[in-house]
């Protein structure tokens, strides 16, 4: 039997394929409980061939959902099928947060605000430099590049093993973004004030290359969007070399805030107890 609060109030979802590993139900469940709000949030797996029908059921209200989160592989289609994608989503071509408003399906992408809110919380002043290095040019790097640009960084070097992917992003995000092959990493790190790993290197116990962070500006911040393990090999190296580091878990927590506020009507707070809850869950699995 579920909590009686789940029977009433708005219903929200996280959808993906697969979606069972998502920690979003834990995050939103924690906020619903601690804020004492009626409503529910659950994982709702939808296969790619069923996604358009799922969106149609959101639009006509038959799903019963007020909205929800969208993860891999549905973010691009969610953006394309929404009635009202916002400007952030339009530039990214992908949405991770949906909500119904006046009969229309709205969409945004909160990965970028999750990224900046995490750094604001854990290392205020991280944005005082002009130059950032983004390592990696996959799907996860897009919202980061957008957020760093919108925060005021004047030069953003995107470095990727496959340089064509970095070039596509430079074209998409404008002249402040410059594309480089992996061999240029040491050169573009010179004097940069922020280093962001968006590659999958070092994830889940996999090996990561040895990186020399010393060309970065003194006190440059090094962060990683991978959060399993919390201290990735890239972060461990940066810390050993004397740089402040920020792990990626807070991005996951903060990106959830705007959606919760839309569906349940109250802005939640990312606190130490929520962080501890997710870390405990990571350790248990």
Report, as residue numbers or ranges, the catalytic residues.
75
Euclidean distance between CA atoms 128 and 151, whole angstroms:
10
- Our finding on whether 140 is near ligand ATR (CB under 6 A) is yes
Euclidean distance between CA atoms 67 and 142, whole angstroms:
23
Given the complex with ligand ATR, which of 95 and 160 has the nearer CB atom? 160
Feature table: binding site for NADP(+):
87, 136-140, 160-165, 225, 248
Write down the residue that tokens 């529910």 correspond to.
40
Euclidean distance between CA atoms 133 and 195, whole angstroms:
5
Q: Which of 137, 216, 221, 251 binds ligand ATR (CB under 6 A)?
A: 137
Given the complex with ligand ATR, which of 117 and 140 has the nearer CB atom? 140
Q: What SS3 class is residue 241?
A: coil
User: Which residue in 92, 91, 96, 47 sits closest to 68, CA to CA?
Assistant: 96
Given the complex with ligand ATR, which of 25 and 136 has the nearer CB atom? 136
Q: CB under 6 A: which stretch of 59-67, 135-143, 148-156, 273-281 binds ligand ATR?
A: 135-143
Q: CB under 6 A: which stretch of 37-45, 90-98, 138-146, 271-279 binds ligand ATR?
A: 138-146
Cβ-count burial of 227 within 10 angstroms (0-12 exposed, 13-18 middle, 19+ buried)?
A: buried
Residue nearest to ligand ATR (CB): 138
- Name the site residues for ligand ATR (rule: CB under 6 A): 136-141, 160-162, 165, 198-201
């Amino acid at each position: 039997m579920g909590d009686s609060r789940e029977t009433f109030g708005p219903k929200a979802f996280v959808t993906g394929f697969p979606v069972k590993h998502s920690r979003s139900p834990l995050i939103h469940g924690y906020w619903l409980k601690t804020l004492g709000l009626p409503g529910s949030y659950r994982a709702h797996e939808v296969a790619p061939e069923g996604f358009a029908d799922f969106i149609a059921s959101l639009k006509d209200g038959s799903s019963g959902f007020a909205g929800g989160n969208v993860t891999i592989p549905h973010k691009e289609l969610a953006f394309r099928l929404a009635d009202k994608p916002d400007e952030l989503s339009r530039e990214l071509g992908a949405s991770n947060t949906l909500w119904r408003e006046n009969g229309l399906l709205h969409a945004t992408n909160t990965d970028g605000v999750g990224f900046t809110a995490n750094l604001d919380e854990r290392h205020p002043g991280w944005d005082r430099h002009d130059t950032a290095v983004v390592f990696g040019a996959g799907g996860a790097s897009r919202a980061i590049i957008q957020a760093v640009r919108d925060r005021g960084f004047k030069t953003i070097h995107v470095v990727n093993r496959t340089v064509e992917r970095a070039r596509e992003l430079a074209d998409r995000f404008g002249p402040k973004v410059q594309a480089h092959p992996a061999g240029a990493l040491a050169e573009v790190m010179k004097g940069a004030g922020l280093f962001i790993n968006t590659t999958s290197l070092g994830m889940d116990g996999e090996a990561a290359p040895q990186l020399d962070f010393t060309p970065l500006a003194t006190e440059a911040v090094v962060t990683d969007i991978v959060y399993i393990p919390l201290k990735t090999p890239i972060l461990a190296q940066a810390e050993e070399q004397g740089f402040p580091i920020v792990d990626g878990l807070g991005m996951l927590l903060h990106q959830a805030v705007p959606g919760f506020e839309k569906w349940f009507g109250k802005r939640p707070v990312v606190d130490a107890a929520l962080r501890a809850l997710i870390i405990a869950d990571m350790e248990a699995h």
